[in-house]
Amino acid sequence: MNNSRLVAIVVIEKVINENAYSNIVLGLELNKSDLNDKDKALVTEIVYGTLKYKYTIDKILSSFIKKGFESLDSFVLNILRISIYQIRFLDKVPSFAVVNEAVNLTKKMSNVGAAQFVNGVLRNYLRDDAAVYYNEKNDIERLCFEYSFTKALVKLFIKQYGIITAEKILSGLNQKPDVTVRVNTLKLTYEEIWEKLIENGYNIEKGYACLDAIRIIKGKNIENNLLFNEGSITVQDESAMLTAHSMDLAPNLEVLDLCSAPGGKTTHIAEIMRNTGHISAFDIHKNKLSLIKENLDRIGIINTSCDVMDATIYDSNLLESADRVLIDVPCSGLGIIRKKPEIKWSKHIKNIENIVHTQRKIMENASKYLKKGGVLVYSTCTLNKEENEGNIDWFIENHPEFKIQPVFYGDLKNINYSDSGYVTILPNEYMDGFFIAKIVKL
């Protein structure tokens, strides 16, 4: 397959129609294609951009498709979506070229009638590029259209954070993420890894919030790099890197990681502990244990064992067995929309109540596994306060033998330190949205 727009549509079809993960299916389709690096970059831009702005694009298209989207073949609808994205949001592709490409591809993959329809919709859109598609006097409609979020999510963020911070969150979640890597000083020093990346042609910068981080500004796929394959670096967002640094780690501790896959935080804990002590890495999904083991082997970790476990079910064998416990609990994922834009419209707010119940069961069990004087770290990659502050406040209220211990990562504009001691990281161009609470057993 060597047509970049066709590859993009194949990916979008699977994400929208089959609930596939954008990052996984995009990688698979690009690897199968015969595209050069430039065209692969275009496919990536179109896929993530179209998914990111799907709400806005669909709002525009609904003005021109009077019979509703259900009347259209899925391929035709998605070629209209990627075309509107390119015309509205990409400067490097001329509008006439986008229309011609869309018409020709529709003619080839569908029929002449569908191609004429695509041509008509796109040319009608181009005739009035200053048209307004929402009520400009309504803040919620403006935010939904401008940042391309559903009304449910916009209302949630406004209710929990206020409109000013909510808009900052929406803007941050639309930022294009750079690749960030964590250095493994079990193998090489930070300076040695820095020099080797430069020698390999990477344009790099120091991390924004974490001393272990290097930001990859430009360069080839880092996971094809020898430094990655040898375990000297691991791809990880800086927000996630801060989790292990919150655990007061030291050599020879007994550590439990109850929701471990794919192992990014587990391996970071092992690196900080210099491969001493013991880490028990658990996950509910047996098939995901292989991902953890691959990372352990690649990085050279020898102090970690992996086992299947449902963290919501209490295991009496673990009672007061750990010096440190990490629960990076399953969550709604609203903080990582930069990397998985389909979360904008694939997550339903009404399901959050069930998630909170699961998170609290995991917290209850984790607290029992901790020794007196031990540290429990609770983290999520969401910005929903019910899953974050709400859970911590509930836990502390019901467990007087625990207290929150404040953490500090530096005076950065996007890191909010609460009076209670927990931390909310707002998304920006450097970091995903995240929440961390450090709890000590008295």
Active site residues: 381
Is residue 66 a known part of a binding site? no
Is residue 62 a known part of a binding site? no
CA 60-10-101 angle, to 5 degrees, is: 60
**Greatest alpha-carbon span in the chain:** 73
Is residue 71 a known part of a binding site? no
Is residue 260 a known part of a binding site? yes
Is residue 207 a known part of a binding site? no
Is residue 400 a known part of a binding site? no
Structure-block tokens of residue 34: 């015969």
Residue position matching structure tokens 């399953």 = 330
Distance CA 265, CA 245 (A): 10
Is residue 130 a known part of a binding site? no
Is residue 261 a known part of a binding site? yes
Give, in order, the Cα–Cα distances in Å from 322 to each of 10, 370, 397: 47, 5, 23
Is residue 264 a known part of a binding site? yes
End-to-end CA separation in angstroms for the chain: 61
Give, in order, the Cα–Cα distances in Å from 379 to each of 74, 112, 329, 333, 434: 38, 53, 6, 11, 7
Residue position matching structure tokens 């919620």 = 140
Is residue 283 a known part of a binding site? yes
Residue 231 · residue 296 · CB < 8 Å? no
Strand 423-425 versus strand 434-441 pairing type: antiparallel
Annotated binding-site positions: 259-265, 283, 310, 328
Annotated binding-site positions for S-adenosyl-L-methionine: 259-265, 283, 310, 328
